Amino acid sequence: MDNRKYNIYFHTHTVSGILICVVLFVMFFAGSFAFFREELAAWQNNAPAAATHAAAPANYNRLLDSLGRHHQLRGRNFEFFLPQSGTATYVTMSASNDSIVKRQAAAQAKAKAKLKGPGGDGEKRKRGRGRGRRGGEDGVAFSYDFARQQAVDYEQSYSIGEFLYRLHFLAPLNVVPIFLGGPFGYTLAGLVSFLFLFALITGLLLHWDKMVSNFFTFRPWSKWKTVWTDLHTALGVIQFPFQLLFAITGIVLILNSVLLAPIAKFAYKGDADKLRSELYAGDTTTYAYTYTPLATAFDLSGFMQQANRRWPNSRLTQVFIRNYQDANMHVVVLATPQAATSFAGSGKLVYRVRDQRVLEEQVPTVHSSYVDKVRAVVYHLHFGDFGGRALRVMYFVLGLLGCVVMVSGILIWLVARDKPATPARERKFNFWTANVFLAICLSMLPVTAITMLALLFLKHPTQADIYHWYFYPWLALGVYFVARKDLAVTNKQTLWLSVVLCLLVPVLNGVVRGNWFWRTYAAGQFDILLVDLLFLTLALASGLGLLKMSRRAQAAQLVGGADAQRAGAAPRAEHYQPV
């Protein structure tokens, strides 16, 4: 490779890397924990997911009944979104297709709104998650918990797992009132993912010539800069495929409109819904409303049980009801195969209620189009949901190793510029950048442990509680470490805090709730056990880091001369760099 290209790769890699490193660290760190979203929720609620599942036969009829108490249901469209786990479903109900019902309902809704005044019920609902209310005046959208047979208040049922999951695509930053074609947090996350992809490509090209030799190079007893460089290169190369998949799937999942909006405009004549339904599972068919009542009664719970039995090794994802209680009422069921049976696929069933006929059937474990395959690759690889817990543990480890690559990158960046030739002003700026970056990144693990500990003592933690217990300690620790102005102190103290706080997570879970390792193991509560073991391992790993550091410091003191000798043997260019 010629020198010019090498230096350009080097520089573009450095600049794109240093621009995104902090945000990317937060995304990787929180994202790694998000693999255990369900486990973390089970840990927080002290309720293993398995027990919750068994206790909740999904009673759809009851859900419709309770909706019917407040609304006239005739002629409406319903959509149920069924999550991969848990006992909740997300429900939307449109305004009625029956113009008489629609007018009545609109009038009622208007009267109600007048009674409550502005800023009442309607205002609150708008803050739901994502999918807005479709179909206008008196449509509703909410989460319903089959276990408790009532609507779920999102903010009340918030968990640390949900928090870390949403933090990893920067959802909390959406409050920033800058709209760049999407909410601020999501747009930033997408942009960071794209720069991450760019940094990965330049990094790979940069190390291309020495890839094989670098792979086998690790000199942990050398100077710090060498250690960090080796760490960055070796881990970076090992992790390259893993990180590349997250860079690409990350953009696809968070900011795909960059690609899809113009494609819809130019290739689909502006019909974004059509493109969406072709790329993602969905159904946009409209069925004519006949204004003739349905002659027979319809048992949705029974229908759902049958649908579940119809396709073994699959999971229902969405259920749409069209024209409820009309003679032309249809039910559309969408499903996806379990990854163990079939990696990619999509199932669809269209059912006409009037004559109980299946109009269309696509078996999820059999049918798999090209789009299904691409989508399966993107989703399964990103969420790591195709190989059980062991795979997610591996993903977690690889994710945290990615964090190590980012931190070592910051340190190389600093140390490489910390020499007499660099102007004092620049060195000061470089130091402060690294100081702030490390304070933010390294305090994340202790802060996560602090929030976990707080959750043991909070009665009914809400979204606001978790925000407070996460962001305030983070701010406090961050400011403290920035003020200390010493990277070694930041490193050492965050490690100490991590050892103590992470160790306290399983210990206090035992003391406060009696969830000792052996008890949760004996009771088969593996999700709670996993979280405890996770934090125990993190405490041990931090302790190991501390031990290595102090050994190193001792060795350096004892044989101070030897180190200087080795430095003397090193090439001239590195000679005057401070250790």
Partner 1 sequence: MPANPKYLTKSPWLRLVKILVGFGGGYAVMLSLHLLLMRVFPPQNVAATAFITGYVLWALLLLWAFVARSVWRVGAAYLALTLLFSLPHFLA
Contacting positions for partner 1 (CB under 8 A) = 3-5, 7-12, 14, 194, 197-198, 201-202, 248, 251-252, 256, 259-260, 262-263, 266-268, 275, 278-279, 370-371, 374-375, 378, 416-417, 573
256, 311 Cβ separation under 8 angstroms: no
Q: Nearest to residue 47, comparing CAs of 36, 35, 38?
A: 38
Distances (CA, A) of 5 to 10, 201, 230, 350, 404: 8, 13, 22, 57, 27
Q: Nearest distance from residue 101's CB to partner 1, in Å?
A: 36
User: For partner 1, which is the closer residue by CB, 290 or 433?
Assistant: 433
CB of residue 345 to partner 1, shortest distance in Å: 15
**Whole-angstrom Cα distance, residue 130 to residue 550?**
49
The residue among 59 and 422 lying less far from partner 1, judged by its C-beta, is 422
**Shortest distance in whole angstroms from residue 370 CB to partner 1:** 5
List the beta bridge partners of residue 79. Answer: 92, 320
Residue closer to partner 1, measured from CB, 93 or 199: 199
User: Rounded CA gap, 498 and 538, in Å?
Assistant: 8
Cα 450 to Cα 137: distance, rounded to the nearest angstrom: 44
| Shortest spacing between CB 191 and partner 1, in angstroms | 11
Contact 504, 520 (CB under 8 A): no
Residue 118 makes CB contacts below 8 A (sequence gap 6+) with: none
Decide whether 278 or 299 has the Cβ nearer to partner 1.
278
CB of 273 closer than 8 Å to CB of 134: no
Q: Which two tokens stand for residue 477?
A: 């620790």
Cβ proximity to partner 1: between 7 and 554 the closer is 7
Cβ atoms of residues 146 and 157 within 8 Å: no
Q: Shortest Cβ distance from residue 412 to partner 1 (Å)?
A: 10
Question: Nearest distance from residue 236's CB to partner 1, in Å?
Answer: 17
Q: Write the burial class of residue 189 (CB in 10 Å: 0-12 exposed, 13-18 middle, 19+ buried).
A: buried
H or E element, residue 151: strand 150-152
Residue with tokens 């009132």: 177
Residue closer to partner 1 by CB (options 139, 250) is 250
Q: Please, which residue, 159 or 202, has the CB nearer to partner 1?
A: 202
Q: What is the 3-state secondary structure (H, E, C) of 21-35?
A: HHHHHHHHHHHHHHC
**CB of 29 vs partner 1, minimal distance in Å:** 23
First-last CA distance in the chain? 30
- Minimum distance between the CB of residue 114 and partner 1, rounded to whole angstroms? 46
251 or 528, CB closer to partner 1?
Answer: 251
Which residues, in sequence order, are bridge partners of residue 81? 90, 318
DSSP strand E in 280-418: where? 314-322, 330-337, 347-352, 357-362
Give which of 401, 408, 407 is closest to 441, Cα–Cα: 407
Amino acid sitting at position 525: Q
93 versus 200: smaller Cβ distance to partner 1: 200
Closest approach of partner 1 to the CB of residue 227, in Å: 16
What is the bridge-based pairing of β-strands 330-337 and 357-362? unpaired
Cβ at position 77, least distance to partner 1 in Å: 25
Residue 177 or 420 with smaller CB distance to partner 1: 420
